[in-house]
Amino acid sequence: MRVLVVSNYDDNYNAVRPEGELFIGLLRAGVVVLVMTYGHTPFADEFRKAGMRVIDYHPDKKFSAESVARIRQELLEQDRQIIHLFNNKAIINGVRAAWDLPIKVVTYRGYTGNIHWWDPTNYLTHLNPRIDAITCVSDAVKEVFDRQLFFPKGKAVTVSKGHNPAWYQNVETGDLSEFAFPEDAIIVSVVANARRMKGVPYLLEAASLLPPASPVRFLLIGRGLDS
């Protein structure tokens, strides 16, 4: 099996690691994996160490004739059987690149919401009929697709990913003294950026239901959480 992955690994190392490790695991299992991403990123180096070829390129716009041609070139020259696309820029350009080729097109969806059969913009991405399968990070994401009218059942599949505790064995425990938590506090850390789909406002609303004497304290970690 020969797969071209188009994804953006220019983010926090631990944020992209679960996805990256999935493809390293497939490589070790005998799948021929080729990754198209920004070549300067730390995880691109991890791919190279694993023996994977990395193409230093990623679409910078959703509609780019240059990106379509670049992706199509790799599909043809490397005789790929599957192209796996992980973000909207990759999906829109990748679908066009593979449109008339005998290649399976797979996309990825990591959160629920914003998918509607009546929204024409969704047919530029996951609802495009050229797409053969959608890997969903959870059953909840899969159910969003299964509820859509005119959407073939079975096209969306759940492919779970997560963090291996062994990755953090040598990480020192954080010092939380700067937050002045009570000594008996049960600290719940929430790591998420301030995006609507993360549901942080619902967490805060639920926290207000705790008894006033509860020892639970919440520590919110992420970008934009002061908003």
Domain identity same for 122 and 31: yes
Amino acid 41: pLDDT: 93
Residues 124 and 204 in one domain: no
Residue 30, domain member (yes or no): yes
pLDDT of residue 192: 86
137 and 217 in a single domain? The answer is no
Which run of H or of E encompasses 207? helix 200-207
Give the residues across from 33 on adjacent strands: 3
Contact 89, 57 (CB under 8 A): no
Please report whether residue 108 resides in a domain: yes
Is 104 found in the same domain as 18? yes
Q: Residue 227: its pLDDT value, please?
A: 81
Give me the tens of pLDDT residue by residue for the chain, a chain 227 residues long: 899 999 999 988 888 999 999 999 999 999 999 999 999 999 999 999 999 999 999 999 999 999 999 999 999 998 899 999 999 999 999 999 999 999 999 999 998 889 999 999 999 999 999 999 999 999 999 999 999 999 998 999 999 998 999 999 998 888 898 999 998 999 999 988 888 878 888 998 999 999 989 999 999 998 888 88
Quote the pLDDT of residue 34. 95
pLDDT given at position 78? 86
C-alpha to C-alpha distance for 84 and 176, rounded to whole angstroms: 40
Q: Would you state the pLDDT for residue 226?
A: 83
Domain that holds residue 21: 2-158
Q: Which among 158, 184, 209 is the end of a domain? A: 158
pLDDT reported for residue 185 = 94
Measured between alpha carbons, how far is 77 from 222 in angstroms, rounded to an integer? 41
Q: Residue 195 in contact with residue 222, Cβ under 8 Å?
A: no
CATH of residue 12's domain is 3.40.50.2000
Examine the domain organization and report whether 53 and 149 are in the same domain.
yes
The torsion of the CA quartet 121, 60, 9, 12, rounded to 10 degrees, works out to -90
227: in domain: no
- pLDDT attached to residue 132: 97
Q: Are 42 and 153 part of one and the same domain? A: yes
Q: What is the model's pLDDT at position 196?
A: 81
